[in-house]
Amino acid sequence: MWWAWQPAARALFRRLGLTLWVRSRKNPVEMLRLLGQERLEALAADPLFLREYDAVMAEFEDVMAARRSWFLDTYGDVGNGGIAYFCAEFGAHTSLPIYSGGLGILAGDHFKEGSDLGVPLKGVGLLYQKGYFRQRLGEHGEQFAIDEPFHPESMPLERMWGNGDDGSHAIVTLAGREVHLGVWRLAIGRTSIYLVDTDIERNHPDDRALSHQLYRGDLEMRLRQEIVLGIGGVRVLRSLGIDPGVWHANEGHAAFMVLERLKERMEAGQSLDQAVRQVSASTVFTTHTPVPAGHDYFPREMMERYFTEYVAGMGMDEETFFDLGRHPEDDGRFHMSALALRTSDHRNGVSRLHGEVARLMWKGIWPDGAGDENGNPKPKPPPATAAQAAVEIPDAPTEEQVPIGHITNGVHLPTWLSPSFRQLFDRYLGPDWVLTQDDAALWERALDLPDDLLWRAHLEAKYRLFSVMRQRARRRWQDEESKSSQVIAAGTLLDPEVLTIGFARRFATYKRASLIFSDLDRLEGILTHTWRPVQLVFAGKAHPADKPGQELLADVYQKAMETRFGGRIAFIEDYEMNVARDLYSGVDVWLNNPRPPLEACGTSGQKAAINGVPQLSTLDGWWAEGWTRLNGWAINGRQPIELGGDPLARDEADALSLYDTIESEIAPLYYRRDVDGVPRGWIRVMKHAIRTGGMSFSSRRMLKDYVQRYYAPAAASATADSEG
């Protein structure tokens, strides 16, 4: 996958054949299967192509053979054996649909950055051979979820042959039946992700389906998948001869991996306490959602069916086992996050504010407080400014009281920059800016980018988005005779001269996709204003089992077809990584309006920011620490966050602030042009967005934080333990 973030390598694939490239969903393996021999022979005789090919291959070989990296230079062989990173989904590239959204894409960015920095990451995930789903919308906005099955052979995956007679690697037992595990390796540059596959012949049909689909099926299917991921994943690493020094569970789905490691130690004769202490020392757990329903938990009787034997086998008493997964407000169920928190010494939320929420949610796990060295809770430092007070949660415990910290998410810049911004940065920040991107001075220079060229790079990205929308609309009109109202909803009446606000999210209710529709008359006035019109572009999927989410989606879609809004609202179908990049870079403003503090981070706004697209957002997630007043706008920024406040009152106040900010700040600034047509005041905001994004919200900063604060100490204590 190294090519996925190298402009020259991507250009090479496009040159092989643009039509095939697009038709194969930018999948090189599939494309090369479809490419005719004649074309290959013609290219093999084309000196220009060969020169580019040789240059790309030479760079690739250099990277893969490099003996030096930031990680090796700084840490040597700390974490010898590598850092295992377990996650239920990985979003590396649009062509490999084994992700649903933010969590998976964050994991993909983590690995790309890991390759760039030389961090020895070993991923463990599941291979979902039926993909997530592709979204089609009917004429009333009803969502059709279309399967997208693929053959691993047509993906950039390498089959790993294990010692089983059919090449399988390990076995897990699910309620008495053995499931054999196959493995595929996904290489992300210098890092690897091992994808577990249960769809092999000797497995029972029900078990083969375990690695078919992501986040579908019922609760029991989820439990079985998580056993395969966690317990099976550890066994697979062992079978591959990998002995990680650090184990990172990215979200609670992966928490069973600690059980298998406890089992290994207890079988080797350690006491439970000893095993828990040592496993915790080398375990990192990242929690990702402040919404309680977003955490996994399983009923006790279901757990017993799968674990009674396993737990007895490891010599653990059954009550002790259930204690490990007990929620502080004991509801009798087994909570994956509770298990992970109790068995990891390094725990974090994914933004400063989310760290506070996570401490509040889970303080019951440390009823006496974690305390300082004398066991006393440390007082919280007072907020520095009024704005900061508004984004703090009153009474949230400190990290000393509840040992959950935070590392704010960041995004992989080479992946998320539009081609025109990549060129602009290469030219003005210097050809090596990707290597030196954590030098703050580099991003100060973003403020000096030439106005006219920055504006032109933005317009290029905007035209690209609008052209993508028209092409998609045209194709559906031609191929499927879609209704004319759907052609309008697809964005064909949008005008690239007009201020365009983008919003793309999973349709979960707390994200409030319809907040901007709270007052239709006022919105109509804003969108159809004579001098300062505004356009909206939406995208997003609703989970196939989430009926309220689908209704919300249909509602938004129907607004796009309403004549009163004059075709100034568009909905792009099938939100995934490819359309996402065009969207983040091609709108003028990125809108994010979750009900605070329910958005843990919100990386889409970071991807927009580095493309010079400022954010308009409630002070939630990363915006609570990223907003400087110069780099975008806050919705209702002065109203403090109140847990358990009246959500409807908050919605109303936020909607008013949203309209006010668009009418009185955003639209006037956007349309204030110099004689040459360039909006200098607006460009100032764009530059500050780039500065903030590049300086503080890149995956470079994020991964270095993980290494310095968690991976290196975890590896060191694990080594000390094994020596002691």
Ligand X SMILES: *Cc1c(COP(=O)(O)O)cnc(C)c1O
**Nearest approach, Cβ of 89 to ligand X (angstroms)?**
11
Which range binds ligand X by CB under 6 A, 319-327, 491-499, 573-581, 701-709?
Answer: 573-581
| DSSP code, position 706 | I
- CA torsion angle 523 527 533 537 (round to 10): 120
Which range binds ligand X by CB under 6 A, 159-167, 287-295, 519-527, 570-578?
Answer: 570-578
| Per-residue binding letters, 581-620, with ligand X (x by CB under 6 A) | ---------------------xxxx-x-------------
**Nearest approach, Cβ of 626 to ligand X (angstroms)?**
12
| DSSP code, position 381 | P
**Nearest approach, Cβ of 602 to ligand X (angstroms)?**
4
| CA dist., res. 638 & res. 522, Å (int) | 23
**Nearest approach, Cβ of 604 to ligand X (angstroms)?**
3
Cα torsion 598, 604, 605, 610: sign: positive
**Which residue, 224 or 505, has its beta carbon nearer to ligand X?**
505
Which range binds ligand X by CB under 6 A, 137-145, 334-342, 574-582, 691-699?
Answer: 574-582
Q: Within its chain, how far is the Cα of 270 from the centroid? A: 38
Residues 207/132, Cβ–Cβ less than 8 Å: no
Burial profile 308-318: b = 16 or more Cβ within 10 angstroms, e = fewer: eebbeebebee
**Which residue, 575 or 682, has its beta carbon nearer to ligand X?**
575
Which range binds ligand X by CB under 6 A, 240-248, 576-584, 609-617, 655-663?
Answer: 576-584
**Which residue, 203 or 604, has its beta carbon nearer to ligand X?**
604
Which range binds ligand X by CB under 6 A, 354-362, 486-494, 571-579, 716-724?
Answer: 571-579
**Which residue, 94 or 270, has its beta carbon nearer to ligand X?**
94
**Nearest approach, Cβ of 605 to ligand X (angstroms)?**
6
CA-to-CA separations, 273 to 222, 263, 280, 287, 342, in angstroms, rounded: 29, 12, 10, 24, 12
| CA dist., res. 296 & res. 57, Å (int) | 44
Q: Which of 28, 101, 230, 586 binds ligand X (CB under 6 A)?
A: 101
- CA torsion angle 77 80 81 86 (round to 10): -90
Cis peptide before 597 (omega within 30 of 0): yes
**Which residue, 257 or 610, has its beta carbon nearer to ligand X?**
610
| DSSP code, position 23 | H
**Nearest approach, Cβ of 102 to ligand X (angstroms)?**
3
**Nearest approach, Cβ of 529 to ligand X (angstroms)?**
28
CA-to-CA separations, 143 to 228, 514, 533, in angstroms, rounded: 31, 17, 30
Q: What value, to the nearest 5°, has the Cα angle with vertex 524 and ends 523 and 526?
A: 65
| Per-residue binding letters, 10-49, with ligand X (x by CB under 6 A) | ----------------------------------------
| Per-residue binding letters, 103-132, with ligand X (x by CB under 6 A) | --x---------------------------
**Which residue, 84 or 589, has its beta carbon nearer to ligand X?**
589
Q: Which of 279, 446, 577, 707 binds ligand X (CB under 6 A)?
A: 577
**Which residue, 603 or 696, has its beta carbon nearer to ligand X?**
603
**Nearest approach, Cβ of 576 to ligand X (angstroms)?**
5
| CA dist., res. 678 & res. 715, Å (int) | 52
Structure tokens, 449: 């980018």
**Which residue, 275 or 610, has its beta carbon nearer to ligand X?**
610
Whose structure tokens read 């415990």? 397
# binding residues, ligand X (CB under 6 A): 13
680-696 vs 451-480: helix axis angle to the nearest 10?
Answer: 90
**Nearest approach, Cβ of 458 to ligand X (angstroms)?**
19
**Nearest approach, Cβ of 584 to ligand X (angstroms)?**
8
| Per-residue binding letters, 288-327, with ligand X (x by CB under 6 A) | ----------------------------------------
Which range binds ligand X by CB under 6 A, 68-76, 100-108, 124-132, 438-446?
Answer: 100-108
| CA dist., res. 89 & res. 196, Å (int) | 12
**Which residue, 279 or 577, has its beta carbon nearer to ligand X?**
577
Beta bridge pairs of residue 183: 160, 196
Which range binds ligand X by CB under 6 A, 186-194, 279-287, 556-564, 575-583?
Answer: 575-583
**Nearest approach, Cβ of 108 to ligand X (angstroms)?**
9
CA-to-CA separations, 690 to 281, 445, 601, 679, in angstroms, rounded: 38, 10, 18, 17
**Nearest approach, Cβ of 28 to ligand X (angstroms)?**
20
**Single-letter code of the amino acid located at 3:** W
**Which residue, 535 or 593, has its beta carbon nearer to ligand X?**
593
Count Cβ atoms within 10 A of the Cβ of residue 373 and give its class: 0-12 exposed, 13-18 middle, 19 or more buried. Answer: exposed
Q: Which of 28, 97, 102, 125 binds ligand X (CB under 6 A)?
A: 102
**Nearest approach, Cβ of 461 to ligand X (angstroms)?**
15
Structure tokens, 331: 């509801």
Which range binds ligand X by CB under 6 A, 99-107, 246-254, 274-282, 564-572?
Answer: 99-107
Residues 489-518 that bind ligand X (CB under 6 A): 505
| DSSP code, position 698 | B
**Nearest approach, Cβ of 406 to ligand X (angstroms)?**
16
**Single-letter code of the amino acid located at 316:** M
Residues 317/681, Cβ–Cβ less than 8 Å: no
Q: Which of 575, 627, 659, 710 binds ligand X (CB under 6 A)?
A: 575
**Which residue, 97 or 182, has its beta carbon nearer to ligand X?**
97
Structure tokens, 5: 């973030």
**Nearest approach, Cβ of 450 to ligand X (angstroms)?**
29
Whose structure tokens read 């595990």? 181
**Nearest approach, Cβ of 617 to ligand X (angstroms)?**
10
Count Cβ atoms within 10 A of the Cβ of residue 675 and give its class: 0-12 exposed, 13-18 middle, 19 or more buried. Answer: exposed
Residues 424-483 that bind ligand X (CB under 6 A): none
**Which residue, 296 or 599, has its beta carbon nearer to ligand X?**
599
**Nearest approach, Cβ of 525 to ligand X (angstroms)?**
28
**Nearest approach, Cβ of 213 to ligand X (angstroms)?**
18
**Which residue, 598 or 707, has its beta carbon nearer to ligand X?**
598
**Which residue, 105 or 365, has its beta carbon nearer to ligand X?**
105
Contacts of 346 (CB under 8 A, 6+ apart): 283, 284, 285, 709, 710, 713, 714
Structure tokens, 280: 């915790």
Q: Which of 30, 116, 451, 576 binds ligand X (CB under 6 A)?
A: 576
Report the Cα–Cα distance between both ends of the chain, in Å, rounded.
40
| CA dist., res. 195 & res. 182, Å (int) | 8
**Which residue, 111 or 575, has its beta carbon nearer to ligand X?**
575
CA-to-CA separations, 132 to 95, 211, 595, in angstroms, rounded: 12, 11, 27
| CA dist., res. 552 & res. 557, Å (int) | 9
Beta bridge pairs of residue 145: 135
Phi, psi angles (nearest 5°) of residue 318: -60, -35
**Which residue, 265 or 541, has its beta carbon nearer to ligand X?**
541
Closest CA to 325 of 294, 300, 357: 300
Residues 537/491, Cβ–Cβ less than 8 Å: yes
**Which residue, 82 or 101, has its beta carbon nearer to ligand X?**
101
**Which residue, 105 or 598, has its beta carbon nearer to ligand X?**
105
Residues in contact with ligand X by CB under 6 A are: 101-102, 105, 505, 575-577, 580, 602-605, 607
